[in-house]
Chain A
Amino acid sequence: MRVARLAERAPILHMREVDKTFGGEVVALRRMSLTVNEGDFISLLGPSGCGKSTALRLIAGLMPPTVGRIEWEGGQGADDLGVVFQEPTLMPWATVAKNVWLPFRLRGHSYRSVRDRIEEALAMVGLEKFGNAYPRELSGGMKMRVSIARALVTNPRLILMDEPFAALDEITRQKLNDDLLELKAQIGATVIFVTHSVFESVFLSDRILVMAARPGRVVQEIVVDEPYPRGIAWRTAPEYGRIARQTSDALQGTLYTREAAE
């Protein structure tokens, strides 16, 4: 599936001037505005406490914003969201295939009626042979793949990923990054990806939102106008290095302003 150029994409979600305050005084997120377009791969990049996970939880509908609105273009349907957490978050008592079945099961679809789609999703993440395995039999990276398969099995409009690869080793992480981009190229998914790695964000995304802490806010948006699919060539391209430096500088800037404020 071909992804349209950045400027031509249709919007699917708007965050308008969103604030989130905890306990009346802790400002986790201040005046965040964001339009998510179809096919975007957006990274939320920032130090801990910058509200990137809060933003994700707000979009996921796990809590309401204190001020501002989050609006889905054409209203939010039941199957609009897929989520991947920092941990694989699989049900240990269910096989891999049964785990991937969960979003369908909650819609009342029998296993037989969606078996093809489950197998397809598992094949996409390279686990077609592991449908009957239990999560404990898999490595950390494989569990994460199951989690990704579950997030995309319903073909959601938006997939949220909250530092999904942070707990994995560097080699597994790079492999999963490559595979994630391949998946994105295949199904043209729209992704919001929370990370604290500059290189990961530049490699994966076409929009990077650099965030600062205390209060959590977006300080800069960096566009990575490099077409997908991206591979090893992109990791070593001069343009990649340039954007990584620019992003890194932006991130450094947020750290210094914070220290100056303290």
Chain B
Amino acid sequence: MTVSETSASTRAETGSGPMYDADEERRARKKRVEAIAQWVIPITVMAIAIWYWDRIVVWNGIEPYILPRPGLVMRTLFEDWGTLSQSLLVTLQITGMALAVAVIGGVGLAIIFSLSRFAEMSFSPFAVILQVTPIVAIAPLIFIYVESRLVGLLMCAWIVAFFPILANTTLGLKSADHNLSDLMTIYRANRWQRLRYLQIPSALPYFLGGLKIAGGLALIGAVVAEYVAGTGGIGSGLAFRILEAGYRLQIPRMFAALFLIALTGVIIFATTSLIAHLALRKWHESALKRE
């Protein structure tokens, strides 16, 4: 009885305007709050963490060669920008090229695997062995055999980055809808048409997932390889700058270079995520907003 009275009075209040019940209003409010919080909360927490770092240094009177204040790291970044930006460019170049070669190699190999079971049986063990052996263990050998430092770095970064692309794309090429595959047979599609119109679009979400992982791994590969390669001079990347600064106890500079590496990683992740979103937003479940 009371329930029906309440609903009757609500209806009288809202009149002829659009009808929102209490539950829907609550949902809408929650959605608005979440939309703002999504940005505000991480930024605030990050700012507090940095502020707290600064305070810890000041309160405890920690020397800058042990732990620099965040402001000093930023200042070093600007003062050493000439050297650091050169190194950033080198690291970016190696990462980018390794990722590009990983995409070509990974996708190419995956397509060959999908065309021939025998090729897959023959070569997938090599791919697995390359993947499971830590890159730091392989890198010294590579630098013995490969004359060019750049090529060596590139190979290391490539070895780390290509496997997720290969594995994901191979899986994707195999997971085309069986009925669509039958349809292709009924319409007498040739191997190439089947690949182009069915398997490659089916594999796209898988490939893009692999690309996201490979982007981060290419950077890791490039940095790790440079630690192994060691020798510096012109054409050294950020990893070498960290090593070098470490030897000279230039801790703020180590932080500045580290900051650039982290930033690079974030930008790579954001870029690959954006590519994935743009490619899939029209049709794939992962990129769709639910009503």
Beyond A83-B186, A136-B288, whether A93 also contacts B283 by CB under 8 A is: yes
The yes or no answer to B6 lying at the interface (CB within 8 A) is: no
Beyond A78-B188, A93-B201, A103-B187, whether A85 also contacts B284 by CB under 8 A is: no
Q: Which residues of A contact B177 (CB under 8 A)?
A: 89
**Chain B 194-214 per-residue mask, 1 if CB under 8 angstroms from chain A, else 0:** 000110010010000000000
Q: Shortest beta-carbon distance, A89 to chain B, in Å?
A: 4
The yes or no answer to A178 lying at the interface (CB within 8 A) is: no
Q: Which residues of A contact B188 (CB under 8 A)?
A: 78, 106
Assess whether A92 is in contact with B179, with CB atoms less than 8 Å apart.
no
Q: A98: nearest residue on chain B (CB-CB)?
A: B197
Q: A57: nearest residue on chain B (CB-CB)?
A: B182
Assess whether B185 is in contact with A136, with CB atoms less than 8 Å apart.
no
Range for the number of chain A residues in contact with chain B: 20 to 34
Assess whether B282 is in contact with A87, with CB atoms less than 8 Å apart.
no
Beyond A92-B284, A93-B204, whether A85 also contacts B179 by CB under 8 A is: yes
Assess whether A92 is in contact with B186, with CB atoms less than 8 Å apart.
no
The yes or no answer to B262 lying at the interface (CB within 8 A) is: no
What CA separation (Å) do A120 and B188 show in the bound complex? Answer: 24
Total contacting residues, chain B, CB less than 8 A = 20
Q: Shortest beta-carbon distance, A191 to chain B, in Å?
A: 15
Assess whether A89 is in contact with B204, with CB atoms less than 8 Å apart.
no
What CA separation (Å) do A91 and B184 show in the bound complex? Answer: 12
Q: Shortest beta-carbon distance, B140 to chain A, in Å?
A: 45
Q: Specify which of A81, A102, A136 lies most central, judged by the most chain B CB atoms within 10 Å of its CB.
A: A102
Q: Shortest beta-carbon distance, A136 to chain B, in Å?
A: 6
The yes or no answer to A62 lying at the interface (CB within 8 A) is: yes
What CA separation (Å) do A134 and B282 show in the bound complex? Answer: 8
The yes or no answer to B43 lying at the interface (CB within 8 A) is: no
Q: Specify which of B184, B185, B186 lies most central, judged by the most chain A CB atoms within 10 Å of its CB.
A: B186
Q: B187: nearest residue on chain A (CB-CB)?
A: A106
Q: Shortest beta-carbon distance, B290 to chain A, in Å?
A: 11
**Chain B 253-291 per-residue mask, 1 if CB under 8 angstroms from chain A, else 0:** 000000000000000000000000000001110001000
Q: Which residues of B contact A89 (CB under 8 A)?
A: 177, 179-180, 183
What CA separation (Å) do A134 and B288 show in the bound complex? Answer: 12
The yes or no answer to A105 lying at the interface (CB within 8 A) is: yes
Assess whether A106 is in contact with B284, with CB atoms less than 8 Å apart.
no
Assess whether B186 is in contact with A60, with CB atoms less than 8 Å apart.
yes
The yes or no answer to A61 lying at the interface (CB within 8 A) is: yes
Q: Which residues of A contact B288 (CB under 8 A)?
A: 136
Q: Which residue of A91, A93, A102 is within 8 Å of B187 (Cβ)?
A: A102
Q: Which residue of B182, B197, B283 is within 8 Å of A134 (Cβ)?
A: B283
The yes or no answer to B193 lying at the interface (CB within 8 A) is: yes
Q: Shortest beta-carbon distance, A132 to chain B, in Å?
A: 11
- Considering only residues 200-233 of chain B, those with a C-beta below 8 Å from chain A are 201, 204
7 interchain residue pairs of minimum CB distance: A89-B179, A93-B201, A92-B283, A85-B179, A106-B187, A93-B283, A106-B189
Q: List 16 A-B contacts (CB under 8 A).
A: A60-B182, A81-B187, A83-B183, A85-B179, A85-B182, A89-B179, A89-B180, A89-B183, A91-B197, A91-B198, A94-B201, A106-B187, A106-B188, A106-B193, A134-B283, A136-B283
Interface residues of A (CB under 8 A from B): 60-62, 78, 81, 83, 85, 87, 89, 91-94, 102-103, 105-106, 134-136
